Amino acid sequence: MTNPHEEQQPQAQPSPQTPYPPSGQTPYPQSGQAPYPQSGQTPYPQSGQSPYPPSEQYQPAGQPAPYGQPYTAPPVQEHPQGTLILIFGILGIFVTIFAPIAWYLGNKAKRDIQTTGIHYSNEQNISVGRMLGKIFTILAIVWIAFVIIWVIIAVIAAGGQG
């Protein structure tokens, strides 16, 4: 049984074509021959015709690409508390009360940045001040706990002697 889609017709053999001209001919024009056909038409467009496709095929300048993130200008705004947070974080090294304030204000500023989606030029200051506040607040708590334990041990030792 044969396949009904196959017809029993002889297949035509493709004519052998070579990229080379027959022997004795060169692919380049001989002297005296014009390299292009002279049919009266110029290879350039006539006045009023554009060699380019219509402009509807191109996106206008300034439009974002159809995929990915659009270009955003570098941030030029500063967060109003960015420098204050950094200063409080640095002051928290020497004056302990500033460390938790820097940590609190840094968390508040980070939350504000995440909710609004605005990128500020001093976000690095906020991060550094917040981290300094966090580190020195934790160190202050550990130091206070150490002092309390030391005082308790000193009171017990003093009470046992007397």
* Higher-pLDDT residue of 64, 46: 46
∠ Cα 151 157 160 (to 5°): 140
**Which tens digit of pLDDT belongs to each residue from 98-121?**
999 999 999 999 999 999 999 899
List the one residue out of 84, 115, 114, 113 whose CA is nearest residue 101: 84
**Which tens digit of pLDDT belongs to each residue from 53-102?**
665 555 555 555 556 666 666 657 899 999 999 999 999 999 999 999 99
Residue 76: per-residue pLDDT: 76
pTM: predicted TM-score of the whole model, two decimal places: 0.52
Q: Cα dist. 47→42, 43, 54, 56 in Å?
A: 12, 13, 16, 21
Domain spans of the chain, in order of start: 82-161
pLDDT band at 26 (very low <50, low <70, confident <90, very high): low
Give the least confident one: 57-66, 75-84, 136-145, 153-162: 57-66
Residue 138: per-residue pLDDT: 97
